[in-house]
Amino acid sequence: MMPRDGANSAELIGGTGPVMHPISMPGWLEIYKVDRTFRLQTPDCIDPGRTKPDVPWSWQISDEAGAANPIIARVFIQCAEALKNHRLRRGSPEAITIALHTCKEDLRNAEKAFVRLSTGYDKIVGEVQTAGGLKPKRGVVNNLPLIPDLEHDATIFLTGAKRALQSIAEVLNQFYGTMISNARFDKGRTQLKALNPPPDELLKQLDGFTPLIERILNLRNFQEHTPKKTIVENFRLTANEVLLPGWRVDPEPASEIIPEMNSVLTGIVSLAETCFFVGLMDNLDVPAGPFGYVIEEIPEDQRQGAAVVYRVDLQFIKPPAEDGTATNA
């Protein structure tokens, strides 16, 4: 036996509380505390060809947020864990897990850009309020405040948001055999409607998310493509007021950028969660007998500080009485 094959353990330093929710990925194990994400590699992950006898274990902190973060918990952890030990009629559990992880990573990049911008925004607004407003001196507003790198971080945000949408589309491609690309959920709905039978519940849910999806795609695509143009605007002075930072697809009016970013993040988390669980329920291979899968909310006292909400359980489903009346489970 080579030294690398002996028993070993690693103390994951940093973060708060116990480790939880270990999830296997191709090439590493992802582990969480409530406020940290760790990436652990075994010798076989580092050296799968087993070319050296003494390859060590390795770990690193891969994110300064953990299982208490709603993006990490709801987009990835709860969904990846719902896939474990379940057989699917269609779709690769590994491919779905990879798509969910990619979605989580891109959405976290968007969230980090949002946090940078909202921190700068709050600082400026607080300073202006403390000063009693902007006060011109000799008819001049000196050094009108600006959020640093607003347009740069807005681009990072929109890029991450659009990529997250495509990862959600990849989950649907696995579950339903569709070929949605470039986050074109409008074309995806057409493909889903052509299935026999069509997934009515999923289509109903996607209809509700259409405004969110179109808004993200328009803001991102028109940063680079014609005929319209996305315009990002910092604090700016008019004859009547100071306008807050906003964005718009010209010639539409601007909307405030910070509140809308927050709504976009919340909306994509909900979209990812919805698409995954509806797709999973449509594709679980239910065993014979009086059993069925149900989605249930995880009790607060079982979450251990994580932001997970749902899980899938196989439960005994008592059949109806012979006379057609329902019976209690």
Q: What are the helix (H) ranges across the chain?
A: 43-46, 70, 78-83, 93-130, 150-176, 185-193, 200-221, 257-283
Phi first, then psi: give them for residue 33, nearest 5 degrees. -110, 180
Domain residue ranges of the chain, discontinuous segments joined by +:
7-66, 67-316
Q: Are 300 and 275 in contact (CB under 8 A)?
A: no
Is the pTM higher than 0.85?
yes
pLDDT tens per residue across span 92-129: 999 999 999 999 999 999 999 999 999 999 999 999 88
What would you measure as the largest C-alpha separation in the chain, in angstroms? 89
Residue-level pLDDT at 134: 84
Q: Are 301 and 104 in contact (CB under 8 A)?
A: no
Q: Which residue has the tokens 């249930």?
A: 296
45: left (phi over 0), alpha (psi -120 to 50) or beta: alpha
Q: Are 29 and 42 in contact (CB under 8 A)?
A: yes
32: left (phi over 0), alpha (psi -120 to 50) or beta: beta
Q: Which residue has the tokens 């953990």?
A: 66
Closest CA to 90 of 185, 178, 25, 198: 178
Which two structure tokens, joined as six digits, stand for 165?
């949408």
Q: Which residues of the chain have pLDDT under 50?
A: 326-329
How many CB atoms are closer than 10 A to CB 153? Answer: 22
pLDDT tens per residue across span 162-175: 999 999 999 999 99
Residue-level pLDDT at 329: 37
Q: Are 22 and 66 in contact (CB under 8 A)?
A: no
Q: What is the dihedral of CA 11, 14, 20, 21, to 10 degrees?
A: -100
Q: What is the dihedral of CA 113, 115, 119, 120, to 10 degrees?
A: 10
The C-alpha atoms of residue 145 and residue 125 are separated, in whole angstroms, by 9
